[in-house]
A and B are shown apart, each in its own frame.
Chain A
Amino acid sequence: MALPLSQDAKLEAMTAAQEVKGRSLWQDARRRLFRNKAAVVSMIILSIIVALAILAPSLSRHAYDAQDYNQVGCPPSWAIDMTKLDDLDYADANPEAAICGQGIVMSFETALADWELACGEGASPGDGVVCGAKPTIDDFKHFLGTDAVGRDLWVRILYGARVSLSVGVVATVVALFIGVLYGATAGYIGGRVDSVMMRFVDIMYALPFIFFVIILMTVTADIPFFKDPFNRFILIFAAIGAVEWLTMARIVRGQTLSIRRKEFVEAAVAAGVSNRAIIVRHVIPNVIGPVIVFVTLTIPSIILAESFLSFLGLGVQEPMTSWGVLISEGANEMETKPWMLIFPALMMAVTLFCFNFIGDGLRDALDPKDR
């Protein structure tokens, strides 16, 4: 015996038959989105950046917190001509490159000697020694240079990407969760409840909320619980998410209200459909579009907010890093080590560009005015 189907399942089953295929608005939107070149290119670039961030630990032999004392504040390795290290004219003209080049050689030779000693011909590996491949000089080059204490910039940018992107995504989810719940409640109940709830949002809007985040971050800096990097991380999410939910609540409420007034919702009420079913069947599918657009545009603004906090020294703590921290460090050293500013800034800008282009593309694709 077949299980009794829920109403919604029945609706699904009913229209799943093989009649003439309809073209839903989602399909239309997807087609329009994929026709938007900027959005498609952005999606590709963003996927690459995300993949790099996820794979960061296996992409470089350098650890994000390892200091290479032979190479402190060195320019990108492709700016150093390794073949001319012994050339005195070259050293005169590029003293820094020459020193950093020697640094690479020194680090390599030290590591090679250690390797030979432990794993080389005739040596018997001692207890707990794991022998890797034989070091080559390329392993000691720093593709994008090093920072002021000799850490590999490329790896740090990738680890920064992990922090910045996850803050962006998680805080957006926080904002989304609170905002959708709050906004949908206000919009659906309407009347007095709505005006009280939105009045509260208006009050919160009246202040530069970043102040509260700053105060929150400073007052919690001394609480032992929040000294733990992970907890501090969560606090950043929560604090920024708490700022961004206001706009989300407004958008969701406005959309809910306007959909509530649409005739197709009135038709459902007139048919005796319950409130719950109206929300699930009619309100949510129609609110999703604008919310998705807002989410794609919120992620970059949260990445910006996090980097803003980090820039002020209130974000993630050493040796963890984020794009904001890297840019802040870079800004301090920009006169002598411009690469420390340029590369993190470039990486962040490209990411934010991508999010904005995707957001704009989505908005155009979902915009009903276009139809």
Chain B
Amino acid sequence: MLGYIVRRLLGAIPTLFIIVAATFFMMRLAPGGPFDGERRLPPEIERNIKAAYNLDKPVYEQFGIYVGNILTKGDFGPSFKNKDFSVSELIMLGAPVSLKLGLMAMTLAVFIGSFLGVTAALRQNTPTDYSVMSIAMVGITIPTFVTAPFLTLILGVYLGWLPVAGYGDGAARNMILPVVVLALPQIAIISRLVRGSMIEVLRSNFIRTARAKGLTDAQVVWRHALRAGLLPLVSYLGPAIAGLVTGSLVVEQIFGLPGIGRYFVQGALNRDYTLVMGVVILYATLIIVLNLIADVMYRVLDPRVRLG
């Protein structure tokens, strides 16, 4: 098990490197720099600024300096646009917000999604099943940026139950809408996934054996079916995280939450290279680590998978 984890982590190093390099060169090779577009600076000052940010050096040298700084000092450089902050500081400010949002949405999605999925599977081809699946279809089809304004319109504007936007220092009232909006598509996907796998498990031979033992339906489901039925959910967690990250870009934008997703979008629009790089590295690392955790969990839950 330990060998497996170490091997996976070693394997993640080239992955991360490729991601960093690709992002870096893509941004640097394109025309238009962070200091264009503002009022024209005198050439000297511009030269000084570029020198200060190492922008006057060849691109590969800039890349070397950048990677060197991260590895030796853990320094992601200064933000080009938010002049008083370093990238690390900005990320430290934004990450807790995004993390809180993501974790809450994930938890909600996993619990509600698997509950709905299991319920639908147990009542296959009944009105309960059909209505759960129809709702799931709606959840998959309607994108976050439609549900967000709609729910805001209804719950925030017309009914006035919840605040329309803003972080409010993470108050529960402020978090409800963003979390729900972010979780909805995942709830839909998870419930469909779980329903499918539960139906398959419920048809399997060992469930017939469990029933032949004279166990009650509840015992059959809890002890025998559930664990096997939820396994596909564990392997879905990786893609789910990627989905949440994508969703959070929109949700943070719409609800005006000061998370790193918003930094990313604004950083990309403003050519704030270092900030975008920092966010990409953070997200990529997060996704790699969470994928690893999901894989390890899968191996723990399914004794048939050999640890190797």
Direct contact between A and B judged by beta carbons closer than 8 A: yes
Chain A interfacial positions (CB closer than 8 Å to B)? 202-203, 206-212, 214-216, 218-223, 300, 304, 307-308, 311-313, 324, 327-328, 330-331, 334-335, 338, 341, 345, 348-349, 352-353, 356-357
Do A211 and B269 touch (CB < 8 A)?
A: no
Task: Tell me the minimal C-beta distance from B106 to chain A in angstroms.
Answer: 15
Supposing A206-B287, A215-B268, A356-B137 touch, asked if A331 and B26 sit within 8 A by C-beta, the answer is no
Do A218 and B141 touch (CB < 8 A)?
A: no
Instruction: Tell whether B210 is near chain A: CB-to-CB under 8 Å.
Output: no
With a cutoff of 8 Å between Cβ atoms, the chain B residues found around residue A348 in the complex are 143, 146
Do A215 and B146 touch (CB < 8 A)?
A: no
Do A222 and B31 touch (CB < 8 A)?
A: yes
Question: In chain B, residues 265-281, which have Cβ atoms closer than 8 Å to a Cβ of chain A?
Answer: 265, 268-269, 271, 276, 280
User: Which DSSP category, helix, strand, loop or mixed, fits chain B's interface?
Assistant: helix
In the bound assembly, the distance between CA atoms of A330 and B146 in angstroms comes to 9
Instruction: Tell whether B9 is near chain A: CB-to-CB under 8 Å.
Output: no
Do A345 and B146 touch (CB < 8 A)?
A: yes
Nearest B-chain residue to A224, judged by Cβ: B31
Nearest A-chain residue to B143, judged by Cβ: A304
User: A216, A300, A331: which has the most chain B beta carbons within 10 Å?
Assistant: A331
With a cutoff of 8 Å between Cβ atoms, the chain A residues found around residue B18 in the complex are 203
**How many of chain B's residues touch chain A, expressed as a range?**
35 or more
Of A212, A307, A341, which contacts B22 at CB under 8 A?
A212
Instruction: Tell whether B242 is near chain A: CB-to-CB under 8 Å.
Output: yes
Do B27 and A335 touch (CB < 8 A)?
A: no
In the bound assembly, the distance between CA atoms of A313 and B276 in angstroms comes to 17
Task: Tell me the minimal C-beta distance from B138 to chain A in angstroms.
Answer: 8
- Binary contact readout B273-308 vs A (1 if CB under 8 angstroms, 0 otherwise): 000100010011001100100000000000000000
Nearest B-chain residue to A222, judged by Cβ: B32
Do A356 and B141 touch (CB < 8 A)?
A: yes
In the bound assembly, the distance between CA atoms of A210 and B283 in angstroms comes to 12
Do A207 and B145 touch (CB < 8 A)?
A: no
Do A219 and B284 touch (CB < 8 A)?
A: no
Question: Chain A interface: which of B71-79, B85-93, B117-125, B249-257?
Answer: B249-257
In the bound assembly, the distance between CA atoms of A207 and B12 in angstroms comes to 12
Nearest A-chain residue to B200, judged by Cβ: A369
User: Which DSSP category, helix, strand, loop or mixed, fits chain A's interface?
Assistant: helix
- Binary contact readout B21-48 vs A (1 if CB under 8 angstroms, 0 otherwise): 0110011001110000000000000000
With a cutoff of 8 Å between Cβ atoms, the chain A residues found around residue B152 in the complex are 334
The 6 closest A-B pairs by CB, nearest first: A219-B30, A222-B32, A331-B149, A352-B141, A218-B268, A208-B245
Nearest A-chain residue to B23, judged by Cβ: A215
> Besides the contacts A203-B18, A331-B148, what 20 more A-B pairs have beta carbons closer than 8 Å?
A202-B15, A206-B12, A207-B19, A207-B280, A210-B246, A211-B280, A211-B283, A214-B265, A216-B26, A219-B30, A222-B30, A222-B31, A300-B141, A307-B145, A311-B250, A331-B149, A341-B150, A353-B141, A356-B141, A357-B137
In the bound assembly, the distance between CA atoms of A209 and B249 in angstroms comes to 13
With a cutoff of 8 Å between Cβ atoms, the chain A residues found around residue B155 in the complex are none
Do B268 and A308 touch (CB < 8 A)?
A: no
In the bound assembly, the distance between CA atoms of A328 and B142 in angstroms comes to 14
With a cutoff of 8 Å between Cβ atoms, the chain A residues found around residue B26 in the complex are 212, 215-216, 219
Instruction: Tell whether B80 is near chain A: CB-to-CB under 8 Å.
Output: no
With a cutoff of 8 Å between Cβ atoms, the chain A residues found around residue B284 in the complex are 206-207
Task: Tell me the minimal C-beta distance from A134 to chain B in angstroms.
Answer: 41
In the bound assembly, the distance between CA atoms of A176 and B2 in angstroms comes to 39
Supposing A206-B19, A219-B30 touch, asked if A312 and B250 sit within 8 A by C-beta, the answer is yes
With a cutoff of 8 Å between Cβ atoms, the chain A residues found around residue B14 in the complex are 203
Task: Tell me the minimal C-beta distance from A214 to chain B in angstroms.
Answer: 5
Nearest A-chain residue to B271, judged by Cβ: A218
